[in-house]
């Protein structure tokens, strides 16, 4: 599996992103209105769908950094600028999609326990998710290449 990640880094980004984002999505269920009241498997399905979106964001952010570095292997020896771009693209996508779905389409809403971050009222949990998990993914990918 390690060889696959070295030859096709997108596979490693997708694998690690899916694993960590799914756990995060499940843990933040109480911070979204009505999620805790869903039947178990319906909640799992919603979290799986959200996780697949997170994986898509991670791949877009990965490719942005790869274009910047002119190398899909940038995670093997990541530098601060690539990591920063990876984080910023993921955060920008998160802010845009959270705003769209909570303020425009009202597809979901935050529960009263979700702290909101100005200026767009984005939930603190999805923002933290897009700092913590990408850093874990970069570190695991870097270690897999050693």
Please list the pLDDT of the chain residue by residue as tens digits (146 residues): 556 666 789 999 999 999 999 999 999 999 999 999 999 999 999 999 999 999 999 999 999 999 999 999 899 889 999 999 999 999 999 999 999 999 999 999 999 999 999 998 999 999 999 999 999 999 999 887 54
Greatest alpha-carbon pair distance for the chain in Å reads 46
Segments forming the whole domain that contains residue 87: 2-144
Q: How many structural domains are present in the chain?
A: 1
Cis peptide before 119 (omega within 30 of 0): yes
Q: Angle at Cα 110 formed by Cα 125 and Cα 88, nearest 5°?
A: 40
CA 146/CA 143 separation, integer angstroms:
5
Which residues, in sequence order, are CB contacts of 141 under 8 Å at separation 6+?
Answer: 5, 9, 12, 13, 16, 75, 76
> Structure pTM?
0.90
């Amino acid at each position: 599996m390690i060889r696959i990640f070295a030859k096709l880094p997108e596979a490693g980004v997708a694998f690690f992103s899916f694993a960590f984002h799914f756990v995060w999505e499940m843990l933040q269920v109480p911070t979204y209105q009505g999620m805790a009241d869903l039947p178990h498997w319906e909640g799992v399905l919603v979290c799986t769908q959200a996780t697949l979106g997170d994986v898509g964001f991670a791949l877009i952010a990965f490719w942005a950094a790869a274009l910047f570095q002119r190398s899909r292997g940038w995670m093997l020896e990541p530098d601060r600028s690539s990591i920063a771009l990876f984080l910023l693209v993921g955060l920008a996508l998160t802010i845009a999609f959270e705003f769209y779905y909570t303020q425009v389409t009202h597809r979901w809403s935050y529960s009263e326990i979700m702290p909101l971050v100005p200026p767009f009222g984005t939930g603190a949990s999805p923002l933290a998710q897009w700092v913590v998990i990408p850093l874990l993914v970069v570190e695991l990918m870097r270690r897999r290449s050693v």
